[in-house]
Amino acid sequence: MRLGRIGYINCYPVYAGLDRGVVRVPAELVTGTPAELNDLLSAGELDVSVISAVEYARHAKDLVLLPDLAISCDGPVRSVALFSKRPVTELDDRTVLLTASSRTSVGLLELLCRDRWHVTPRFAQARAEASDLDALAHLPHEAVLVIGDAALLLAARGVYAHRYDLGAEWKAWTGLPFVFAVWAARRQTEQDAVRRVHRGLLASRDWGLAHLDLLAADAARATGVSLAACREYFAGLDYALSYKHLAGLTDFFRRLVAAGVVPDGALQFLHVA
């Protein structure tokens, strides 16, 4: 069994118990960016992984969702933001760069631009790495979408006149939580083994949520983000997948289906009984 995890601090609460040996799972951990894990799971190189919500929708025929586990927010997410030199309503036909962003974040930004802000930017892939904050601050562009630890660090620098938190924008638009990532398994993977991994992830998450101060200190040391900002960040994230989260997820999928981005918005879960 190969289990994927994102290297960003947003996954600390789910994997902390595994990392410290408090919880054990019968799987090898594979760390990567959201885009890398999406591709590895789709290609069958991973058996279970956290993946972008959009990627689940694109490959739902090959995957099952793990219940009660996601990365979501009900308001500001802080680590997914559009940084802009001008108000977002003035980005029509302007260049907006995308760093190595999750496909969910890109899909959400496209929906917000078209249906909430009513602008049509020109999207382009940033050549600078998301970790190269100096480059991101000085590239000749109007705005840039940044996710993960880099978004927290760039916000602290205050080099952009405008910052739009995509979690907060979704909440203001729909009144619903937003699910950025889910955990999924390949359908052909032996289901009892997947259930054991799922139980381990839930136990590890519960341990992590009970030790957020410890994890915030670890995150601050690892990233250079202030301890206070790390605590605030973890406090704003939710790692469950309840009915209210599913309402937000299905609404997002409905909009993506209508836009022709994904083929279907249906959800199918791992049977855990």
| Residue 9: DSSP 8-state | G
Which pLDDT score, from 0 to 100, does residue 131 have? 59
Q: What is the DSSP string of 75-133?
A: S--SSEEEEESS-GGG-TT-EEEE-S--HHHHHHHHHIIIIII----EEEE-SS-TT-H
Nearest to 36 by CA among 13, 5, 60: 5
What is the chain's Cα-based Rg?
Answer: 18
Q: Please calculate the CA angle 141-143-148 and round it to the nearest 5 degrees.
A: 120
pLDDT number for residue 100: 67
Alpha-carbon distance 144 to 64, whole Å? 33
Q: How many CA atoms lie within 13 A of 181 on its CB side?
A: 29
CB 137 within 8 A of CB 90: no
CA dist 51 and 36 (Å) reads 9
Taking residue 125's Cβ as centre, other Cβ atoms within 10 Å add up to 9
Q: Could you tell me which residues come within 8 angstroms of residue 1 by beta carbon, excluding any fewer than 6 positions away?
A: 25, 26, 27, 28, 47, 48, 189, 193, 197
146, 136 Cβ separation under 8 angstroms: yes
What domains appear along the chain, each with residue ranges and CATH number? 2-72+177-258 (3.40.190.10), 80-174 (3.40.190.10)
SS3 186: strand
Give the Cα separation of 169 and 76 in Å (integer): 8
Q: CA-based angle 19:21:27, to the nearest 5?
A: 70
Dump pLDDT digits (tens) for 55-67.
999 999 999 999 9
11 class by beta-carbon count within 10 Å (0-12 exposed, 13-18 middle, 19+ buried): buried
Sheet holding 48-52, edge to edge: 28-32, 2-6, 48-52, 178-186, 63-73
Residue ranges of the chain whose pLDDT lies below 50 = none
Q: What is the pLDDT of residues 174-220, one digit of tens each?
A: 999 999 999 999 999 999 999 999 999 999 999 999 999 999 999 99
d(CA 272, CA 85): 48
- Give the list of residues 6+ apart from residue 221 with CB closer than 8 angstroms, or none: none
